[in-house]
C-alpha cells in the first residue's frame, strides 16, 4: 500500500493590501483566513478547469498518449500515485 503524501500548501506573503482584503473578505463570509483563502483558490481552479484540460489534451496529443495517461504522468511527476499513473503505455497508443 502506498503512503499518501500530505503537504500543507504554503503561500508567500500577499502584501499588506491583499492581506487586508483577505481579512475583510473572510470576516464578511464568516470564515477564518485559511478557510477563505482555500475557498478562493478552489473557486479560481474551478474556473480554469476547461483551460487546464485543454492544455493536458494538447500535451497528450503531442506525445502520442491518452488524456488519462498524460494526466497521470503529470501527477506522478509531482509525486502523486493514482490509478491514472499505472496505465501501461501500450494501451495509450490506441487513442
**% the chain with pLDDT above 90:** 63
Helices 33-62 and 16-28: crossing angle in degrees, nearest 10, is 110
In this structure, is residue 93 part of a structural domain? yes
Residue 8 has a pLDDT of 80
In this structure, is residue 5 part of a structural domain? no
In this structure, is residue 37 part of a structural domain? yes
- Return mean pLDDT, the chain: 85
Residue 77's domain comprises: 63-95
Does one domain contain both 44 and 68?
no
Distance set, CA 30 to CA 1, 18, 25, 38, 45 (Å): 40, 18, 9, 14, 22
Domain count, the chain: 2
Does one domain contain both 18 and 42?
yes
Residue 81 DSSP symbol: -
In degrees and rounded to multiples of 5, residue 8 shows phi and psi of -95, 125
Residue 1 has a pLDDT of 38
Dihedral (C-alpha) 15, 44, 67, 87: value to the nearest 10 degrees?
A: 70
In this structure, is residue 4 part of a structural domain? no
41, pLDDT greater than 70: yes
Q: How confident is the model at residue 95 (pLDDT cuts 50, 70, 90)?
A: very low
79, pLDDT greater than 80: yes
| Nine cell digits for residue 41 | 483558490
Helices assigned H by DSSP within 1-95: 16-28, 33-62, 67-77, 89-92
In this structure, is residue 29 part of a structural domain? yes
More confident residue, 42 or 10: 42
In this structure, is residue 82 part of a structural domain? yes
Amino acid at each position: 500500500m502506498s503512503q499518501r503524501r500530505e503537504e500543507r500548501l504554503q503561500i508567500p506573503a500577499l502584501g499588506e493590501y491583499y492581506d487586508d482584503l483577505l481579512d475583510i473578505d473572510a470576516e464578511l463570509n464568516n470564515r477564518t483566513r485559511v478557510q477563505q483563502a482555500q475557498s478562493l483558490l478552489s473557486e479560481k481552479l474551478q474556473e480554469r478547469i476547461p483551460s487546464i484540460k485543454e492544455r493536458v489534451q494538447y500535451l497528450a496529443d503531442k506525445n502520442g498518449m491518452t488524456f488519462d495517461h498524460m494526466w497521470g504522468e503529470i501527477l506522478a511527476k509531482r509525486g502523486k500515485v493514482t490509478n491514472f499513473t499505472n496505465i501501461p503505455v501500450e494501451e495509450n497508443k490506441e487513442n
